[in-house]
Chain A
Amino acid sequence: MKKVFSRPRSLKETPFHYCPGCGHSVIHRLVAEVIDELGLRERTVGVPPAGCAVLAYNYFDVDMVEAPHGRAAAVATGIKRILPDRVVFTYQGDGDIAAIGTAETIHAANRGERVTCIFVNNAVYGMTGGQMAPTTLLGQVTTTSPQGRLARREGNPLDLSQMLAVAAGSVYIERTSVTSPKNILKTRKAIKKAFLTQLEDKGFSLVEILSPCPTNWKMTPSEAIRWVDESMTKFFPLKVIKDAV
């Protein structure tokens, strides 16, 4: 019998700890599949963040170094500059990459660091328990925006990917989601293209993935998926934001 589905070689056998309906498990798998497909497992170094995905090193079967909160792009820069023939990717949440790590990310992009960022946007600080994130939508209730985010009070959501597109060194930036098989396949394609951008020495690449967080959104998994499709994509439309490959 032909085997059509199995665990990617770049994932360990450790079961995921992520909540039911969370997008991280799917995204981990997509990244691992792409690493396998491109034959990069033995030359890849991954940099997970502080946040829900901090334990990514327990799941990916590649070399992994944990970065301080927000600093993944700087750590990745250090690795890539020393080992230019290796493949370096960061895996970061919205709070990590678009709030505390904004400076590191923008400057890595602007320098055109040959690294790939997997940016998981769920509009909330997940691991710390559902606080407002830089990407929290207007009106969205979180534990630190209890009346709903108000532009005047909490400020507007930040579209980091759009900002990064302005940077001269960024080459490929796409926003996708993991809310349907079609979107998942698109995400996989985008991740592959981002890694190829790095492999071809073109410059900085990033895939922003809108991802459900039913636990902190206080929704069922299917409600959460609908919320991504109907609400998040209004402010964060799914599209290729920059393609200078």
Chain B
Amino acid sequence: MLSKIVFSGFGGQGVLMMGYVLATAGMNENKHVTFLPAYGAEMRGGTANCTVVVSDEEIASPIASSPDYAIAMNYPSMVKYQNLVRPGGIMFLNSDLISQGPSRTDITTVQVPANSLAHEMGNDRVLNMVMLGAVNATIGIVPEEALLQAVETLLEGKKRVMIEINQKALSLGARCLSQGH
């Protein structure tokens, strides 16, 4: 199994953190992982993206020219990646900020109201973990427990309440699709 996932959005939406948490969880599950952030000129101008590869075997290229999955946290990201996702792949959209889906019909679209779910939880900033929870529940890259553990590790030293709200957001995201949000 090899999955290539692109996360994209505005700076400040925690896009890199999504990839970082997933890659850390994958590593802890003894999978091969790579995490490649966009860098240099590409990261100027307020957008951020990163590519995570999780695989059972050694990873050749950390770049995804046609990712299996793309997560668009804002509209420009949807536009940028809609034509790159491989046929049969899935595009996850932050439906609070993206009203119009991709025009392609050979990919699946999953809508996640990440902003409003985070807002309902009382912390606007955890929208990224809401989305990551939904993504992982849909495509099943790592057990949910691994994501929760990764958050615990990566936020080590931060306030307990901070770790917990991020973990809660992951769980909420994982449940939101089945609960018909």
A–B touch (CB < 8 A): the answer is: no
Interfacial residues, chain A to chain B (CB-CB below 8 A): none
